């Protein structure tokens, strides 16, 4: 496996070049056209079996080792975000309002170059490696489910994936068994009140006041109704009532997100948020509409696979530290792969230790330390070869 690192290091410049090319040419979720073409062409040049349009816009390539064995899948997403980039480096986005602000360009570059290097080791590989390039992770419905339905996991025994993390120091791998990331749901509420003059509130059913009551009371669902040892978050992120300064609104729209790990808590919050808005409206004689949208399932790492990964990863060159990850309230549709086959999802540190400010994911100045690409490729490759050797 030391040979793996040496080969990857020889292709580090290519990895950076691919990442920067993709960074300059971002494509939004479910709108990806040129990116999957680029990915498919790269794999075909390696002589791999390639499927395009998997589940819609996905690409799947397969490396068949010289000897029979188990099948490992590796996944990288490739969609960008609707964010206008504020970075000034030479390879910043060429497209206004679109940006790789979450590291998916790096994920793709990592997996492509890893595929090239593993091809050079084919004669030593006993088994099959499936490279899953996924579209649409950032926007529900994500690309994972349709790709799974289209067969991307057929015959797969185990799956690995990593996310470059600007909040984790370079050289650090962050992972844990079991629950890692939360289920990510959304809700939308419209308050139907009665508008009127600001000087005559008694003649109205003030939608802003009712909505405000909901915002405050919704926090009590987590604070006083949910078992405190079961983490949950309710955030109202949008409150809209467009009226002149002296007109009481007849309607208001509220949108927000719910993050949970426990299925019972997820069901509880969905039900109780409606009870909260129903009560607020009943008090003032108003009405409401309530929509709750189930997003991604929680990411739950397989215990055995993850324990083995944690035992092995500290032997990987350039990995300086392994930490047990805290629960992350962010969502990831890698969850759906883990519902079908055992696997491990982990964070690869990409925070440059010399940067005074490390901008977070989804920020217009987001960036990564590109040395993390080599670490991500090496840990994915190491996990793959280790699994196939022990099988």
Task: For residue range 9-20, list pLDDT tens digits in order.
Answer: 999 999 999 999
Same domain as 361, residue 255: no
104 known ligand binder? yes
* Structure token pair of residue 214: 């909901």
Domain end marker among 272, 296, 320: 296
* CA torsion angle 359 362 366 371 (round to 10): 100
If you average pLDDT over residues 152-176, what whole number do you get? 98
Rg, C-alpha atoms of the chain: 24
Same domain as 303, residue 200: no
Q: Which of 301, 321, 380 is nearest to 168 (CA)?
A: 321
Same domain as 165, residue 26: yes
Catalytic, out of 85, 137, 206, 302? 137
Round to whole Å and give the CA distance between 160 and 131: 10
- Tell me the β-bridge partners of 64: 128
274 — pLDDT class (breaks 50, 70, 90): very high
* Structure token pair of residue 337: 């792969």
The question of whether 137 is a catalytic residue gets the answer yes
Same domain as 79, residue 34: yes
| Structure confidence by residue, pLDDT tens digits, 207-221 | 999 999 999 999 999
Domain end marker among 296, 317, 336: 296
Q: Say yes or no to pLDDT of 2 above 90.
A: no
21 known ligand binder? no
314 — pLDDT class (breaks 50, 70, 90): very high
102 known ligand binder? yes
192 known ligand binder? no
- Tell me the β-bridge partners of 351: 169
Domain end marker among 296, 326, 361: 296
If you average pLDDT over residues 117-127, what whole number do you get? 96
| Structure confidence by residue, pLDDT tens digits, 22-78 | 999 999 999 999 999 999 999 999 999 999 999 999 999 999 999 999 999 999 999
Please count the structural domains in the chain. 2
Same domain as 48, residue 165: yes
The Cα-based distances of 261 to 74, 162, 225, 231, 258 in angstroms read: 24, 20, 16, 7, 10
Catalytic, out of 32, 77, 79, 312? 79
Q: In CATH, what number is assigned to the domain containing residue 206?
A: 3.30.70.360
The question of whether 79 is a catalytic residue gets the answer yes
Host domain of residue 221: 183-296
pLDDT of residue 391: 74
């Amino acid at each position: 496996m030391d040979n793996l690192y040496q080969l990857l290091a020889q292709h580090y410049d290519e990895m950076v070049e691919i990442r920067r090319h993709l960074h300059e040419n971002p494509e939004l979720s479910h709108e990806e056209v040129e990116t999957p073409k680029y990915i498919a062409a790269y794999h075909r040049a390696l002589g791999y079996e390639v499927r395009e349009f998997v589940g819609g816009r996905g690409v799947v390539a397969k490396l068949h080792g010289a000897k029979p064995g188990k099948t490992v899948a590796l996944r990288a997403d490739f969609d960008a975000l609707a964010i206008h980039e504020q970075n000034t480096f030479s390879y910043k986005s060429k497209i206004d309002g679109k940006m790789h602000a979450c590291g998916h360009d790096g994920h793709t570059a990592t997996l492509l170059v890893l595929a090239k290097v593993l091809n050079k080791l084919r004669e030593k590989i006993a088994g099959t490696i499936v490279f899953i390039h996924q579209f649409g992770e950032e926007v529900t419905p994500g690309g994972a489910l349709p790709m799974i339905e289209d067969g991307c996991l057929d015959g797969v025994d185990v799956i690995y994936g990593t996310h470059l993390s600007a909040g984790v120091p370079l050289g650090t791998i962050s992972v844990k068994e079991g629950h890692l990331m939360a289920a990510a749901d959304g809700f939308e509420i419209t308050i139907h009140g009665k508008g009127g003059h600001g000087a005559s509130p008694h003649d109205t059913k003030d939608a802003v006041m009712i909505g405000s009551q909901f915002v405050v009371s919704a926090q009590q669902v987590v604070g006083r109704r949910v078992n405190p040892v079961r983490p949950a978050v309710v955030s109202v992120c949008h409150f809209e009532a467009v009226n002149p300064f002296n007109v009481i609104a007849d309607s208001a729209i509220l949108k927000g997100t719910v993050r949970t790990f426990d299925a019972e808590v997820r069901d509880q919050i969905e039900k109780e948020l409606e009870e909260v808005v129903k009560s607020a409206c009943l008090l003032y004689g108003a009405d409401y509409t309530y929509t709750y949208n189930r997003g991604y399932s929680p990411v739950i790492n397989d215990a055995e696979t993850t324990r083995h990964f944690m035992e092995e990863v500290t032997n990987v060159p350039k990995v300086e530290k392994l930490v047990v990850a805290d629960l992350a309230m962010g969502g990831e549709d890698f969850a759906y792969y883990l519902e079908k086959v055992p696997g491990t999802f982990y964070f690869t540190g990409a925070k440059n230790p010399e940067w005074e400010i490390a901008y977070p994911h989804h920020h217009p100045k987001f960036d990564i330390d590109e040395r993390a690409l080599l670490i991500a490729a090496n840990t994915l490759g190491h996990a793959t070869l280790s699994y196939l050797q022990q099988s």
